[in-house]
Amino acid sequence: MDKVTVPVLKEKKGKEKITMLTAYDYCFAQIIDEAGVDVILVGDSVGTVMLGYSTTIPVTISEMIHHAKAVVKAVKRALVVIDMPFMAYQESIEKAKRNAGRMLKETGAEAVKIEGGEKMKDVIKALVDIDIPVMGHIGLTPQSYHVFGGYKVQKEAERLIRDAKALEEAGAFSVVLECVPRQIAKRITEEISIPTIGIGAGPDCDGQVLVIHDLLGLLGDFRPKFVRQYVKLRDVVKKAAIEYVSDVKNGIFPDDAHSFH
């Protein structure tokens, strides 16, 4: 079992596909680490899939730290990346450095992820200069929900290519491409030297990422076009809970086999 580090991940470009999934707690992090995923992202999607927020915007640094601590305890092989939440890095470079440093020191995560392209170049460079590895994130950046007016595919090829190149120049070690037409994602992947990790960006990226709740079918009927559900776990969990309720109500559980003597 070779530990995935930032240099190991960069080396994978052009040689093998990179796999990344989100996790927000000890149990799921342990399962997906054992499954061999390369990168575990403690995403600020924690806000929408675990905490019931309607966007990622309200997520706080403390919430990110709380979840990342549990994930880091479970992970042996994967690279653990933590999302910097909205307003943890936009205000000033000094604040971005302080917050990123705190998030790595208090959680044990190995890198931060930051949303935004050219506009975030100076922030990313400042973090990389103090030895904080940064994963970029361009295309549909969910923290810009109100600017985009919703979750919309980003199709401006020249801007996206400029953004990707700005992140590469700033020293980011990889970049997430979210909801970008596959032809543009392919071009970016060919034109930059760092790995691209796609979500809704087609098959030509260097790697793929999904939110674990989407892959497991844990959420309701809402399913973005780019998600493949590998199991309908919501139905499985619900069925088990319904059976449990029925067994307890009818005196079937606990039985003698589940009792102490």
- Inter-residue long-range contacts of 54-57, CB under 8 Å, 24+ positions, other chains counted: 55/142, 55/145, 56/85, 56/86, 56/142, 56/143, 56/145, 57/86, 57/143, 57/145, 57/146
Does 206 participate in binding ligand KIV (rule CB under 6 A)? no
Helix (H, G, I), strand (E, B) or coil at 134: strand
Does 176 participate in binding ligand KIV (rule CB under 6 A)? yes
Q: Residue 8: what residue type?
A: V
Within 40-69, the residues that bind ligand KIV by CB under 6 A are: 41, 43-45
Q: Rounded CA gap, 224 and 51, in Å?
A: 20
To ligand KIV, the closest distance from the beta carbon of 44 in angstroms equals: 5
Active-site residue (options: 110, 168, 178, 190): 178
To ligand KIV, the closest distance from the beta carbon of 246 in angstroms equals: 36
Does 214 participate in binding ligand KIV (rule CB under 6 A)? no
Query: In this chain, which stretch among 39-47, 163-171, 182-190, 236-244 interacts with ligand KIV, using CB under 6 A?
Result: 39-47
Does 168 participate in binding ligand KIV (rule CB under 6 A)? no
Whether the CB-CB separation of 177 and 139 falls below 8 Å is answered with yes
**Does residue 85 have a cis bond before it (omega within 30 degrees)?**
no
Map tokens 């992090």 to a residue: 29
- Would you call 115 a catalytic residue per the annotation? no
Residue least distant from ligand KIV (Cβ): 43
Report the interface residues with ligand KIV, using CB under 6 A: 22, 41, 43-45, 83, 137, 176, 199, 209, 211
